[in-house]
């Protein structure tokens, strides 16, 4: 049955952690969805109703949507009534926003645009990107009118709708979270909102595109700055021989203080990346934001130094590193501080045996596979053989480990879960 809110066809470009769940929630509510991805394996798997990565409840929703006949996958951008662009926006090695995937997606969809089409940029982007996207599409399609040319009723409607879901709870948060939709004109925002009303039960706040881009970056930079404060405190406490977890707990008894929990660093595709977009557009003003990034980026090396200091006490040290993903209970290792810690340790301590364990991963990431002193083993085996146990990710399986297994080991708990 067609959806009563939106009856058009939606092409979702980029079938990753954001695009695929979005495609699936739309399709399972009766919208005809065509998923587009450059990766042939992803396209093949999604077409068969198989998830290309783990996310709770995604597998059942995808196979349901495929069974309904509402979703298909292709490598070629089709003609559609609406396009949602959810491709990666990483940073380059010199910390600049890499928007090449967004503009490659735009180049592929430009020839398919028909009057009345809606283009929504979901990828997290520096302020001004949606306007640039519109200019790029306009240059490719001089036969069509765009929001820049005519304020009312252009041929193509363009908006930015940033995503704020939490991996591990994607399928719930996609539906429940509030959304910001920024249009290049108010009508663009309203047209885009029609698509999101299909599945979004949260409040949909309409705005302009550049403010929506800025709001998303403000959210993630806020998180980064606050985590940096906790991480900096943890390094000060390490220097003074104090228990940071105890200090944070006491400080948080103040009615107006809420310090976050420190960790081994900040990873993932968002918080570790997006603040750089603000530094890029306002390098002189974004002093605190840049500093916070550097504090969080420095934390993995601090952890490496702590492990090496402990390893120095053993003749042939064996270190168990528990967890590789960038956060608990996901298999996503992008920008993971745990991977950085393990790689630096393997490189700096070639004589140390490093046993890695992560229940979410079945093999070592390529960046770790070639170290001769590093092996992926079962958690119990890693701990049993280790002199030092470094807890890097707070997966549920690690939280519930019997503390007896840790007796007699040097324990470095970067997440504070075994206190």
Ligand X SMILES: NC(=O)c1ccc[n+]([C@@H]2O[C@H](COP(=O)([O-])OP(=O)(O)OC[C@H]3O[C@@H](n4cnc5c(N)ncnc54)[C@H](O)[C@@H]3O)[C@@H](O)[C@H]2O)c1
- The answer to whether 178 touches 204, Cβ cutoff 8 Å, is yes
Q: Is 18 in the site for ligand X (CB under 6 A)?
A: yes
Sort 152 into a burial class: Cβ within 10 Å, 0-12 / 13-18 / 19+: exposed
What separation in angstroms does the CA of 17 have from each of 31, 54, 193? 20, 9, 21
CB of 216 to ligand X, least distance (A): 7
Q: Is 110 in the site for ligand X (CB under 6 A)?
A: no
Residues comprising the chain, all counted:
419
Toward ligand X, which CB reaches closer, 74 or 211?
74
Cα–Cα nearest to 24, from 164, 16, 418, 349? 16
Q: Is 88 in the site for ligand X (CB under 6 A)?
A: yes
Toward ligand X, which CB reaches closer, 74 or 353?
74
CB of 360 to ligand X, least distance (A): 15
Catalytic residue among 216, 299, 321, 327: 216
Q: What angle do CA 399, 166, 18 make, to 5 degrees?
A: 130
CB of 206 to ligand X, least distance (A): 19
Rg, the chain, Cα only:
23
Phi, psi (degrees; rounded to nearest 5) at 270: -110, -70
Q: Is 21 in the site for ligand X (CB under 6 A)?
A: no
Q: Is 42 in the site for ligand X (CB under 6 A)?
A: yes
Q: Which residue is nearest to ligand X (CB)?
A: 16
Site string for ligand X, 249-278 (x = CB under 6 A): --------------------xx--------
Phi, psi (degrees; rounded to nearest 5) at 391: -90, 115
Q: Is 338 in the site for ligand X (CB under 6 A)?
A: no
Out of 163, 224, 340, 394, name the contact with ligand X by CB under 6 A: 163
Query: What six digits make up the tokens of 248?
Result: 């944070």
Q: Is 105 in the site for ligand X (CB under 6 A)?
A: yes
**Residues 374/377/381/382 CA torsion (nearest 10 deg):** 40
Q: Is 336 in the site for ligand X (CB under 6 A)?
A: no
Binding segment for ligand X (CB under 6 A), chosen from 38-46, 134-142, 146-154, 253-261, is 38-46
Cβ atoms within 10 Å of 37's Cβ, excluding its own: 24
Binding segment for ligand X (CB under 6 A), chosen from 2-10, 120-128, 140-148, 288-296, is 120-128
**Catalytic residue at 237?**
no
Place of tokens 């998830």: 51
CB of 156 to ligand X, least distance (A): 19
Out of 10, 11, 12, 14, name the contact with ligand X by CB under 6 A: 14
Cβ atoms within 10 Å of 41's Cβ, excluding its own: 9
Q: Is 15 in the site for ligand X (CB under 6 A)?
A: yes
Toward ligand X, which CB reaches closer, 38 or 301?
38
Cβ atoms within 10 Å of 116's Cβ, excluding its own: 14
Q: Give the Cα separation of 273 and 275 in Å (integer).
A: 6
What are the start-end ranges of the H helices in 116-157? 129-140
Handedness of CA 227, 172, 21, 128 (dihedral sign): negative
- Close Cβ partners of 79 (under 8 Å, ≥ 6 residues apart): 112, 114
Q: Is 300 in the site for ligand X (CB under 6 A)?
A: no
Sort 82 into a burial class: Cβ within 10 Å, 0-12 / 13-18 / 19+: buried
Q: Is 35 in the site for ligand X (CB under 6 A)?
A: no
- The answer to whether 195 touches 246, Cβ cutoff 8 Å, is no
CB of 362 to ligand X, least distance (A): 18
Catalytic residue among 161, 188, 200, 270: 270
Out of 3, 11, 17, 296, name the contact with ligand X by CB under 6 A: 17
Toward ligand X, which CB reaches closer, 154 or 167?
167
Binding segment for ligand X (CB under 6 A), chosen from 34-42, 189-197, 289-297, 348-356, is 34-42
Binding segment for ligand X (CB under 6 A), chosen from 99-107, 233-241, 370-378, 390-398, is 99-107
Q: Which helix (H) or strand (E) segment is 144 a member of?
A: none
Toward ligand X, which CB reaches closer, 138 or 165?
165
Task: Give the total of residues touching ligand X (CB under 6 A).
Answer: 27
Any idea which residues carry the catalytic annotation? 216, 270
Report the interface residues with ligand X, using CB under 6 A. Answer: 13-19, 36-39, 42, 86-89, 101, 104-105, 122-124, 163, 165, 167, 269-270
């Amino acid at each position: 049955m067609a959806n009563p809110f939106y009856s058009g066809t939606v092409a979702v470009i980029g079938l990753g952690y954001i695009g695929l769940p979005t495609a699936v929630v739309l399709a399972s509510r009766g919208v005809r969805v065509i998923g587009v991805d450059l990766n042939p394996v992803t396209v093949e798997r999604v077409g068969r109703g198989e998830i290309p990565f783990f996310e709770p409840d995604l597998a059942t929703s995808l196979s349901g949507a495929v069974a309904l006949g509402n979703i298909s996958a292709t490598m070629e951008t089709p003609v559609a009534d609406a396009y949602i662009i959810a491709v990666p926006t990483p940073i380059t090695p010199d910390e600049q926003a890499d928007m090449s995937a967004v503009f490659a997606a735009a180049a592929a969809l430009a020839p398919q645009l028909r009057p009345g089409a809606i283009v929504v940029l979901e990828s997290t982007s520096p302020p001004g990107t949606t306007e640039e996207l519109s200019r790029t599409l306009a240059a490719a399609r001089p036969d069509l009118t765009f929001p820049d040319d005519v304020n009312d009723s252009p041929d193509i409607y363009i908006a930015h709708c940033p995503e704020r879901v939490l991996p591990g709870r994607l399928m719930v948060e996609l539906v429940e979270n509030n959304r910001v939709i920024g249009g290049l004109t108010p009508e663009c925002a309203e047209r885009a909102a029609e698509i999101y009303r299909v599945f979004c039960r949260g409040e949909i706040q309409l705005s302009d595109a550049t403010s929506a881009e800025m709001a998303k970056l403000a959210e993630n930079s806020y998180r980064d700055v606050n985590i940096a404060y906790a991480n900096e405190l943890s390094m000060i406490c390490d220097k003074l021989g104090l228990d940071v977890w105890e200090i944070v707990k006491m400080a948080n008894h103040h009615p107006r203080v809420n310090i976050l929990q420190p960790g081994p660093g900040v990873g993932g595709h968002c918080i570790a990346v997006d603040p750089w977009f603000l530094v890029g557009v306002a390098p002189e003003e974004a002093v605190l934001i840049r500093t916070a990034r550097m504090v969080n980026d420095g934390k993995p090396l601090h952890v490496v130094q702590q492990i090496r200091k402990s390893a120095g006490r053993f003749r042939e040290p064996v270190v168990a590193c528990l967890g590789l993903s960038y956060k608990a209970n996901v298999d996503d290792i992008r920008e993971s501080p745990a991977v950085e810690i393990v790689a630096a340790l393997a490189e700096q301590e070639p004589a140390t045996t490093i046993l890695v364990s992560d229940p979410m991963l079945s093999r070592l990431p390529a960046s770790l596979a070639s170290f001769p002193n590093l092996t992926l083993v079962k958690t119990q085996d890693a701990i049993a053989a280790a002199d030092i146990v470094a807890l890097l990710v707070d997966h549920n399986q690690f939280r519930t480990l019997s503390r007896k297994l840790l007796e007699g080991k040097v324990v470095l708990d970067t997440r504070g879960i075994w206190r």
